[in-house]
Amino acid sequence: MATTAIATATTEVAYPCLQPNSRQARIIQSNLDGEQMREMDLVRVKTPLGGSTTWQIDVDGNTESTDELKGLLVGEGKRGYLWPSLDPSEQRPILESRDLIVARRLSDDLGSEISPAALEKYRIGDRLYDWAAISISPEFGFGSSKGGAKRVKESRILAILRQGDVWPVLVTVGPGSLPSWLPFRKRLPAFHYECVVGLKLAKAKGAGGQPYSQIVPRLVGTISEEEGEVARRLYTESLTRMFTTFSGGAVAAEVVESDE
């Protein structure tokens, strides 16, 4: 498994756009024009297929290739999904969780693989389910899918603000990359919105031997506390609301990823 790195002494990284009363804040407010930012409005950088170690970043028709996606970690969201089939292409999830504690029912189509009685055991309200219990259950937790994996799929969505950008890009950390990401995230030496991270890709193999691209993070450096406070107000607060507010049925494109 690929390793992650946390520097013992971080290097301060300059983000001039995060100076108090910056032009950046005025641009953001002008572009939003009173509307809320939605996930679908932000550029999503997909994890490549087949074990590729190169990111492809497409912003407004301009495509950039890089071996490391680098920027300020201004936001992070949690996601959990239960699908009617092990191959979720062109299907709607049955359940969605945005905190990995409680899930909402999105679809009544259970397909042919899921027993209604098995799911009903975890219902805690009107179209509400105990996700924390589901994720460790024998029906849907570890060992319930191929190769001993979970039937439910859990991930993180990272909002990465690259230098020079007005808005962050979104990256999904799928099940195969969570073992690299979660320990790294817990060991960050500062608030996440003060940390500049780098995301590289390593070729890995799934339980069935198929290659996939595993995200390998590293700490590039930190910004000052003053810049961090601006980043928190300008980005993190609104992104946190965006990530945790239930979409009401609209499922973002990130839910199907190549990450094992």
pTM above 0.85, yes or no: yes
Query: What band does 260 get if pLDDT is binned at 50, 70 and 90?
Result: low
Q: Is it the case that residue 6 has pLDDT exceeding 50?
A: yes
Query: What band does 183 get if pLDDT is binned at 50, 70 and 90?
Result: very high
Of all residues in the chain, the percent with pLDDT exceeding 90 is 58
Q: What is the pLDDT of residue 136?
A: 94
CA 144 – CA 138 distance, rounded (Å): 6
Query: What band does 76 get if pLDDT is binned at 50, 70 and 90?
Result: very high
One-letter amino acid at 63 equals T
CA angle 6, 183, 247 (to 5 degrees): 120
- pLDDT (tens digit, 9 = 90+) per residue, 100-124? 999 999 999 998 889 999 999 999 9
- pLDDT (tens digit, 9 = 90+) per residue, 122-162? 999 999 999 999 999 999 988 777 766 789 999 999 999 99
Q: What is the pLDDT of residue 126?
A: 95
Q: Is it the case that residue 3 has pLDDT exceeding 70?
A: no
Query: What band does 36 get if pLDDT is binned at 50, 70 and 90?
Result: confident
